[in-house]
Structure 1
Amino acid sequence: MCTLVQGGLVIDTAPEVTVRPEADVLISDGRIVAVGPGLSAEGAEVIDARGRIVLPGFVDTHRHVWQAALRGIGNEGDLGYYFDHVMQARGTRYRPSDVAASNFIGALECLDGGITTVQDYSHVQGSASYGEAAVDALSRSGIRAVYGFGPSPLVGGTADPAALRQVVAAGSDRITVALASTGPAYAPFDVVEADWALAASLGLSVVTHIDRSEVTQTPITLLAEAGLLRPDTLYVHCNNLSDAELKLIADSGASVSIAPAVEARLEMGPPVAARLKALGVPVSLGIDTVTSAPGDMFSIMRQILALGYNAFTAPEVLQLATIAGAQALGFSDVGSLAVGNQADLILLRATDPNLAGGLTDPVATVVTSAHPGNVETVLVAGQLLKHNGHLTTPTYPEALAALTTATTHLFP
């Protein structure tokens, strides 16, 4: 099956950000086969992209998708408040059905705002059934995801090997699995060693929070001394790490996901993006949690510019939200419109009032002015998941009802 996205202003992100007016994107069997003017394919489904900005879908490298049912409840306090009121008071009440309802709506929220790939850090596990419910919901949404399975930091301990294997088996072409470890910031080091060994035995990447810690102030040094620094590790936040610790991450080839809106709201430490760039640490963007911050990538891109990150230009910020995120998650065929890549792309209405007049510098316009309401079309692997400004999900009313049931249970 072929799809021709025709006549749009095409912005690509690799190897550098480029703008191609009045260009086409030809898709076949879920992958990009050509980009340029005047393309054609007999029998192709045509998407009219005139007056539209076409760009790769955003990649969110850190999000607790299961918290969609808790939207806004963590906005009144710092990280301690989050642990008390989100993780403890509500997270411990979740059932697998609540995870499924939250993950489905959370994934649709991503797609609606142009996020086509998400790293779902799921630390609400009671058993494998929680993970299987989450993976099934992600699969039904159509999104591409790296599902991070691991225990809550409130419980601690190692990831359950049998449960993790069950969740890995539940994955699919679009849903892969990582081990979401409580890590050296929250767990004794024997737990860390067990998690890293389990991930290695299953060929999985590791994702872990590195924020304010009562366990150690030098978590990366501990990993280095134990020989556990790996390139396929994604460290999240890292606001309070020293330059020496961050340099260890850079030298290991690993990446850091920052969530500037949540980090600022929960008082997790000084902004770290500029230091990461200066030290050569690959950096990408995450939403983190909608309990304390907006759930769209446009808001996060503006946060990068607004928080004094003078080291980043608008094209560089767009790369953080796309190709850098793909690389952080280990994808070689996502995050840009290169021929052969997955056809994960979005179309924005350039004629909307907040984008009109912005085609002189369309990259800066997208980064500084666009919002989810401008997202008209979303494709993942060539599948049309949002069209004419509306999600194509036929079961959305039932999904809303399931989320209402979950919320009623979580807030008795």
Structure 2
Amino acid sequence: MPTTPSPSLPLPTASPDTSRVLVRGATVLTVDPELGVLPRGDVLVEGERILAVGTDLSAAGATVIDATGMIALPGFVDAHVHAWEGQLRGSGPVVDFGGYLGLTAFGAGPRYSPDDVYAGTLATAVSALDAGITTVVDNAHNALTLEHAVAGVQALTDAGLRGVAAVGAPFGSPDDGVVALAARLRESTSTPLVGVRAFGVHPSDRLWRAAAEAGLWVSTELGPHTPDLTAVMGALAASGLLGERHAFNHCYDLPEAVWRLVAESGAAVNLCPRSDAAFGLGSAVAPVEAALACRGEVGLSGDNEISYALSMFAEMQVLQSRYRAEAWRRRAAGEQAETDALTPERLLRMATLGGAANAGLADRVGSLTPGKQADIVLLRADSPRLAGVPDPMVAVTAYADTADVDTVLVAGRLRKRYGRLVGRTLQTAQELAVESRERLAASTRTPA
């Protein structure tokens, strides 16, 4: 797919006639501590921003979205997803982490062309939007060339998904050129929806120092896969390189000393409830209590679609179940363990504002706050799963599914309405994903 804007992917405005849209009559979960929950409220959008949140709002000439019987909430933010792998979804339903790498980074990855990066990223972006995810931190670590990186950004842009392209070296390759590549990408692409940062598989003095000098955030996979992790992180902290412009993925089985460093730094962290369990990363139990003790925000991550589909609903539900199961196990063993730290309010914050902090966008998205970007999701509260649940916060975090997503707006533009994605994006993404998957499969076959 070409890395220039595609005319086959129309991106209609939220209203064809006016820049004002009024979402009327919803139960509004603002995730804003000052605004709270509005049992019957309105959200007024002007252009790409939220103009007002309240009750009985009026806006002459605005297009009205009747949200009676719906729940309005901020768009979900996936804090860490390898979007380039989208056309490989479903290829490893029961693989461990080594098997996952064999399918992706060490399997199809080295054979990716820029067109394959575009196809995979577009497939993931469409899946995210359909699930009510309006922002992703795209761990684009298959950036074989600048053209590969540009293709990923273009796919996010064409889909109309907000994102951060976290550019990284392919697994097993040195990271010495990552920051230069990210800086070139930042200079060569211009879109208000997609930002750029660096990505590393390990904490790295070289990468972090170069990123700081270039003014770039860094996303890092954090876990005991890094040799001498405590010493490495201690040295980075001592040199002043560990700070708030970092986001840490997974964070499984970290030593207490590393958690203290992360907690004090103000860096954002994200947990991967399904990924860690599916691929057997460490103990496969998300470190909820340690993460919540951090000064920075905690987000949630789907990681990839090799074994399951992207869904913040599933991440919230699995995290809650596995957290409580581990707490009950510890209690049965005679230990002290809290079982109710993950309230519905906490879970929704992690899936929205926590993810926004990981993306470095907490001042722009993650809550329905006047002045922020109009990234809004409407759920049908009358679906068989949600009907009769008295608390809308519980309905969203414990009962809802992606099938309940009726409407999605990103920067004030409709991406999904009446349960269907807008425009031809879905069809195009499906066609390109199939073509790419078949091309990659063919490239592995030995000629007769």
The equivalent residue for 1:199 is 211
Q: Of residues 138, 148, 151 in structure 1, which corresponds to 2:169?
A: 151
Name the structure 2 match of 1:243.
Answer: 256
Residue of structure 2 in register with 1:268 after alignment: 281
Q: State whether structure 2 residue 92 is matched by structure 1 residue 74.
A: yes
Change (3 A) 1:100 1:319: same
Give the Cα–Cα distance (whole angstroms) in 2 for the partners of residues 292 and 7 of structure 1: 38
C-alpha distance in structure 2 between counterparts of 1:279 and 1:107, whole Å: 30
Offset, 1:214: 5.2
After TM superposition, the structure 1 = structure 2 runs for residues 381-392 of structure 1, keeping only pairs within 5 Å, are 381-392=411-422
Answer yes or no: is the 8 Å Cα contact 1:247–1:281 preserved in 2: no
Q: Which runs of 5+ in 1 are unaligned?
A: 185-191
* Correspondence 1:214-293 to 2 at 5 A: 215-218=227-230, 219-269=232-282, 270-280=285-295, 282-293=297-308
Distance 2:428 2:359 in 1: 32
Question: How far apart, in 1, do the equivalents of 2:180 and 2:289 lie?
Answer: 40
Once the two structures are superposed, the pairs formed by residues 393-412 of structure 1 within 5 Å of their partners are 393-412=423-442
CA distance in 2 between counterparts of 1:25 and 1:173 reads: 22
Q: 1:283-362 residue pairs with structure 2 within 5 A? A: 283-309=298-324, 310=339, 311-331=341-361, 332-358=363-389, 360-362=390-392
Q: Which residue of 2 aligns with 1:86?
A: 104
For residue 286 of structure 2, what is the amino acid of its counterpart?
A: P
Segment drifting more, 23-32 vs 267-276: 267-276
Secondary structure of the residue aligned to 1:89 is helix
Equivalent position SS for 1:166 = helix
Q: Partner amino acid for 1:256?
A: V
Q: What residue number does 1:187 align with?
A: none
Partner of 2:68: 50
Secondary structure of 2:229's counterpart equals coil
Give the SS at the match of 1:262: helix
Deviations 1:114-144 (A, max 9, x none): 0011100011111000000000110111111
Question: What SS does the corresponding residue of 2:258 show, helix, strand or coil?
Answer: helix
CA distance in 2, matches of 1:376, 1:61: 23
- Offset, 1:67: 1.0
AA partner of residue 118 (structure 1): V
Say if 1:61 and 1:286, in contact at 8 Å, map to a contact too. Answer: yes
Q: Who is 1:188 aligned against?
A: none
Counterpart Cα distance in 2 of 1:146 and 1:217: 26
Aligned-partner Cα distance in 2 for 1:111–1:27: 19
1:230-269 CA distance string (max 9 Å, x none): 2110011111211221110111110111111001111112
Partners in 1 of 2:275 and 2:354 — Cα distance?
20
Are residues 1:208 and 2:255 paired? Answer: no
* Partners of 2:83 and 2:125 within 8 A in 1: yes
Deviation at 1:81, TM superposition (A): 1.9
**Taking structure 2 as the reference length, what is the TM-score of the superposition?**
0.87
SS in 1 for 2:407: strand
TM-score (norm 1): 0.94
CA 1:106–1:18 in 2, change beyond 3 Å: closer, same or farther? same
Q: Find the aligned partners of 1:18 and 1:112 in 2 and give their Cα distance.
A: 26
Identify the residue that residue 366 of structure 1 maps to in structure 2. 396
Indicate if the aligned counterparts of 1:23 and 1:35 stay in contact, CA closer than 8 A.
yes
Alpha-carbon RMSD: 1.6
SS of the aligned residue for 1:121 comes to strand
Alignment length (residue pairs):
404
8 Å CA contact 1:116–1:344 kept in 2: the answer is yes
Measure how far apart 1:223 and its partner are: 1.6
**1:352-395 deviations in Å (ceiling 9; x for gaps):** 1111111x211011101101111000001110110111111324
Deviation at 1:221, TM superposition (A): 1.9
Secondary structure, counterpart of 2:323 in structure 1: coil
Give CA-to-partner distance per residue, 1:248-295, whole Å, 9 cap, x none: 011111011111100111111232122211455531101101113331
Q: Distance in 1 between matches of 2:290 and 2:243?
A: 21
Task: Answer yes or no: is the 8 Å Cα contact 2:126–2:429 preserved in 1.
Answer: no
Supply the distance in 2 between the matched residues of 1:251 and 1:207 (Cα, whole angstroms): 17
Residue 165 of structure 1: CA displacement?
Answer: 2.5
8 Å CA contact retained: 1:17, 1:319: no
Equivalent position of 1:177 in the other structure? 196
Look up the equivalent residue of 1:316 and give its one-letter code.
R
Give the gaps of 5 or more residues in structure 2: 1-18, 325-338, 443-448
- Alignment-derived partner of residue 331 in structure 2: none
**Alignment correspondent of 1:112:** 130
Rounded to whole Å, the distance in 2 between the matches of 1:16 and 1:40 is 21
1:294-350 CA deviation, whole Å, 9 max, x = no partner? Answer: 311100010111112432111100000011111222211211111111110100011
- Give the distance between the partners of 2:174 and 2:381, measured in 1 at CA: 48
Structure 1 158/171 Cα, relative in aligned 2: closer, same or farther at 3 Å? farther
